[in-house]
Amino acid sequence: MTTLVVVPMKDPAHSKTRLAPVLTAHERSELAKRLFCRTMSVLQISQTIVSFDLAVVTASPMIRTLACHYTSIVIDEGSGGTLCTSAEQAATWAMAHDYTRLGIIPADLAAPDSDDVCRLLSHDEQVVVCPSLYDGTNALLAAPPRAIPFCYGPNSASRHLEAAHKLGLTARRLSFDSFRLDIDTSSCLSQALAQDESLVEEESA
C-alpha cells in the first residue's frame, strides 16, 4: 500500500477554545503549537521505520510554515473547516494522487509514540480505529482513503467501525495508550499535566 498520513490542524489562535476557563488565549495558542510540533516530530521519527508520506491539512499560514520544517505536504483546508471536512479534503487529495490508504492522526495527542504509530500502520485491515478515552477517534486508517464516511464527533470510534461493518469491510479497533488522550478539555489537560507539568509552563514562559 502507498500510505498518506494526515494531521488536520487549525490556526493556533483559534484552537483549544474549550480550555478558555483554565488557560489564557496566548497559553492556548502556544499549547496547540507545542502539541502539533510534538505530533509531527513523532511522525517524522516513524517515517524512518515505516514507509508513508506525511501531510498537514490547514488554512493557517503559520502552520503551513511549521509543516515545512517536517518536510510535510500541505493540503489547503480553505476556511471554516470541521474535522470531517478536513478528512474529506484529505481523502480527495489522497485519491487524486494515487494513495491507496489514508491515515488521520489529530494534532493534539498528549503523548504520541512512534512505536504505536508503526504498530498501527502495520495492520492491513481496510479500516483501523484507535479510540480516545471517551470513544472519540484518535487515529483512523482507511483503505482506500474513501472506504467509509467520516463521522467525527461524539462516539466516533464506534460509529466509524459501525460504518465499516455495514459496508462489509475488514475492521479493527486498537487500543494504544499513546492514542487514548487528546487535550481538548480541562479534564484532559489535568490528566496530561499529571504526567508532564511542563506541557503548559514551558510554552507560556
Is 50 exceeded by the pLDDT of residue 203?
no
pLDDT digits (tens, 9 = 90+) for 166-198: 999 999 999 999 998 888 766 667 676 656 666
**Whole-structure pTM over 0.85, yes or no?**
yes
Mean of the pLDDT values across residues 70-96? 89
**Over the stretch 18-38, which tens digit does the pLDDT of each residue have?**
777 778 888 888 888 989 999
Between CA 73 and CA 56 the distance in angstroms is: 6
For residues 110 and 42, give the distance between their C-alpha atoms in angstroms, rounded to a whole number. Answer: 12
- pLDDT, residue 79, reads 64
C-beta of residue 104 within 8 angstroms of C-beta of residue 87: yes
d(CA 116, CA 113): 5
Cβ-in-10-Å burial (0-12, 13-18, 19+) of 168 comes to: exposed
List of residues 6+ apart from 62 with CB closer than 8 A = 11, 12, 33
| Alpha carbon distance 139, 117 (integer Å) | 9
